[in-house]
Amino acid sequence: MPPEVQSWPSHVLTYRASDLIRYAAASGDFNPIHYDSESARSAGLPGIVVHGMLNMAVVGRYLDMMTQGRYRPREWKARFKGFVQPDQAVRLDGKMKRHDPDGALVVAVTITIVGEVKPALVAEAVLIPSTPRDRDDG
């Protein structure tokens, strides 16, 4: 990514209930609040909610695609500040905060429910260039 690029395009995504089941199977996170409405409601939620870690996985994919696989994280974190439900459109926004002299990129991404102001997820990552061994240029 050229250093002059300060922010990436925003993208909109709507999770389906089937996405949550697929993620539960792949990650091993079978907490019923992610697929069973009754369990979700008895936990005080309005209905089933998206795994926070699925939102974080989407952020990782977004950063990977925005940097075309040329960077990988050295470290990153996400704060889960609100719940996202299936069939609710969310927007991904990302920007580059800093390009360090050692080649690391510091970037920030948020996931916000469309129509709301406060993000449901706030992430920050320190990315380092992928070595040729890490990626396939083909």
Q: Interaction with another protein in 75-114: which residues (CB under 8 A)?
A: 75-80, 92
7 binds another protein, rule: CB under 8 A: no
Residue 3 region by backbone torsions, left for phi larger than 0, else alpha for psi between -120 and 50, else beta: alpha
The one segment of 49-57, 93-101, 102-110, 112-120 that binds another protein by CB under 8 A: 49-57
Distance CA 63, CA 48 (A): 27
1 alpha-carbon distance from chain centroid: 19
Whole-number CA gyration radius for the chain:
16
Report, in Å, the least distance between residue 64 CB and another protein: 5
Distance CA 133, CA 48 (A): 40
Select the residue interacting with another protein from 6, 12, 101, 115 (CB under 8 A).
12
Q: Which residues bind another protein (CB under 8 A)?
A: 11-16, 19, 22-23, 25-29, 31, 33, 39, 42-44, 52-54, 56-58, 60-65, 68-69, 72-80, 92, 130-131, 133-136
